Amino acid sequence: MEDQEGKKRKRIKLPKRGKEITLPLTITVDGLAKLLGVPNDHMLRKMRFIGMNKLANDYLLSNEEAADIALTYGVVPVIPEESGPELYPRPAPDDMSKHPLRPPVITIMGHVDHGKTTLLDTLRSSSITAGEAGGITQHIGAFSVLMKGGQNITFLDTPGHAAFSAMRARGANATDIVVLVVAADDGVMPQTKEAIQHAQDAGVPIIVAINKCDKSGVDPSLIQEELLQHGIQTENMGGDVQAVEISALKGDGVDELAENIATLAEVLDLRAEVDIPAEASVIESQVEKGRGNTASVLVKRGMLKVGDIIAAGTTWCKVRSMADDRGKPVVSAGPATAVKIMGWKEIPQAGDLVLQAKTEAQVKDVIANRIAKRKKREQLDSIEAVNEKRREIHRPAVQPGTTDVSDSVEIPVIPIIVKGDVSGTVEAVVDALQKIPDQKIKTSIISTGVGPVTASDVDMAKTADKCAIIAFNSKADKKIQGLAKRSNVEIMSFRIIYKLLEDVESLLLSHLPPITLEEVGGEAVCQQHYDINGKGRQMVGVAGCRVLSGSMLRTAKTRVQRQGKTIFMGDVSSLKNVKDDIKEATKGQEFGISFVEFDNVREGDVIQSLRYKEIPQKLE
């Protein structure tokens, strides 16, 4: 009795409570069981008890999941710190009043064709539009304007809201005030709403510029009433949001708008340190002929100088040269100043935080650490994909005419982002996608938009698992294509609707496992069972058989049936004709066969050689 109890205790021996174990980034279920020193089946029961569903020995667990399991055994999980060499922004000083004032940073936002570029052109007193067309103006994504009162104002001139969104997402609000441009003859439009949402989410004050007030028949008060429905309450409507009526084309009201910006900036009391290492945000980046990798940055704190060593994301730069918005070389840039920097090892991403390092050795260590962390994050992100593949391996083969997708399995959903040249095209594409049969797999339109594919589209697709971007009569430039490739996001471009539907259906089918059909490729009957000497002079059971139909393959899965019931299904260990090993036995041929871990074949048993064929599913 004592001996039996001892054996029982040994079989379920548990780890010592309070024992510390160090967990890697990822570990298999089997690996964790070995690390804890417990039987696999015992740990699987524990996992089931705490609600985990990764119940297979080769499934991958993150270190957090492994820690939860370890705690149920009273073990102390230790997850190594992943700090490593890094650069951090300096804490904000307790008393900002000791530091000098800085120019306000203004972002002009609004719907397409509501006059953003024209307003910027007027403010800058030079033709941005003509300059961009002729390639004369030095476009760096921002510019400074000297007001009549002697105050400098920095305007962010970014296409759309991509850079603003990226900066806000990274916790680096680069703008102090948003000027919301609304056309008096058009009202609040989709991108107007988007701009309002961006500003409100970032907690940035808004000044409304009602443009095109010089047109006959327009009523600016109606615009203010419409804005009220979207949470913007102007002073005329009893709120505290300033609204200025302007004509960006003629310049009417622009001075008043500038004065309002200056007044609000004075109230905000914007200050920054100049005696600390530089901190900045990337506005935009590109590869330029003769200059290589360049990036426009907006300095937030400190002084950025030629020769400084800076890091942004997973790239770095020893500042070779800098230029302002007019293309003039500069040797230093202070807070709220935008400059284009040359000398980057690789192109940084819009919104990346720029921090200064002391030495090249330090910045190289920081970048190597960031790249290593990124790879670890990617490894964690891939856990579910690995486990899904392993589920496919564990999923049993199905009978003929059935599919291996159970009715109880949740229908997979593929997220889709749709971009088009005009709103009507986008609506047509969305309508066509929603008509695709969806009983087995569905599409989910998570975003739509008019215009080219942007970095924010790619960022959104990256966060949504298996998401694809569909661009109909809309383009993605090389920079965006490169970003999509690095982010493992697919951009599908089309000009013909039926081609779009064909390719989307193919995309959906690629995410459905094929139907597995089982076929009997050969059938034989056991005529005699006998034993022969095997390896190590051990006796091995052999079934002497004759092929009745088809062929029996040495490498095929085999089923043994007795009186119509399956008694074995598994692998063949040997297939012989007399004493010769053979790969195949054909109809009418006699042969001897033995099986892996099965030796109970009797005369009259039917032996079937199985074949499996995968057939793509169809949408229905």
For residues 72 and 85, give the distance between their C-alpha atoms in angstroms, rounded to a whole number: 34
Residue 331 has pLDDT above 90, yes or no: yes
Find, among 340, 374, 349, 298, the residue nearest to 484 by Cα.
349
Angle between helix axes 40-49 and 63-72 (nearest 10 degrees) is 100
For 561-573, what is each residue's pLDDT tens digit? 998 899 999 999 9
CA-based angle 282:286:292, to the nearest 5? 115
Report the range out of 306-320, 402-416, 503-517 with the highest average pLDDT. Answer: 306-320
The residue type at 590: E
Pairing of strands 442-450, 468-472: unpaired
Q: What is the pLDDT of residue 210?
A: 93
For residue range 570-606, list pLDDT tens digits in order: 999 999 888 888 999 999 999 999 998 898 899 999 9
Q: How far apart are CA 223 and CA 246, in angstroms?
A: 13
**Cβ–Cβ under 8 Å, residues 143 and 154:** yes
Q: Name the residue type at position 502.
A: E
515-615 under CATH 2.40.30.10, yes or no: yes
CA–CA dist 204, 610 (Å, integer): 68
Q: DSSP 3-state assignment of 519? A: strand
pLDDT at residue 422 in the model: 58
Residue 25 forms beta bridges with which residues? none
Q: How far apart are CA 254 and CA 244, in angstroms?
A: 8
CA angle at 312 for the pair 105 and 346, rounded to the nearest 5°: 120
∠ CA 540-541-545, nearest 5°, is: 135
Q: Which of 179, 160, 36 is nearest to 104 (CA)?
A: 179
3-state secondary structure of 561: strand
Task: Flag whether pLDDT at 357 surpasses 90.
Answer: yes
Alpha carbons 477 and 282: distance in angstroms, whole number:
19
Give the separation between CA 158 and CA 539, rounded to whole angstroms. Answer: 81
- H or E segment at 69? helix 63-72
8-state DSSP, 55: -
User: Which helix H or strand E contains 388, and what residues bound it?
Assistant: helix 383-394
pLDDT score for 523:
93
> Within 10 A of 326 (CB to CB), how many other CB atoms are there?
12
The class that CATH gives domain 2-78 is: mainly alpha
Q: Which of the residue ranges 2-11, 386-395, 412-421, 568-577 would you say has the lowest mean pLDDT?
A: 2-11
Helix (H, G, I), strand (E, B) or coil at 104: coil
pLDDT at 42 over 50: yes
261: left (phi over 0), alpha (psi -120 to 50) or beta: alpha
| 100-268: CATH topology | Rossmann fold (3.40.50)
Most confident of the ranges 51-55, 265-269, 391-395, 473-477: 265-269
Strand partners, 490: 468
What letter represents residue 116's amino acid? K
For residue 612, how many C-alpha atoms fall within 13 Å in the half-sphere facing its CB?
15
Phi, psi of 433 (to 5 degrees): -65, -35
- Rg, the chain, Cα only: 34
Whole-prediction pTM value? 0.55
Answer yes or no: same fold for 2-78 and 413-510.
no
Domain boundaries, the chain: 2-78, 100-268, 279-376, 413-510, 515-615
Closest CA to 156 of 296, 276, 28, 315: 296
- Domain 413-510 is found in CATH 3.40.50.10050: yes
Which residues lie closer than 8 Å to 189 by C-beta, 6 or more apart? Answer: 111, 112, 114
Mean pLDDT of the chain: 81
Residue 396: predicted pLDDT:
54
pLDDT at 54: 64
CATH superfamily of 279-376: Translation factors (2.40.30.10)
Q: Please answer whether residues 526 and 602 qualify as being in contact, where contact means their C-beta atoms are separated by less than 8 angstroms.
A: yes
Q: Is residue 399's pLDDT more than 70?
A: no
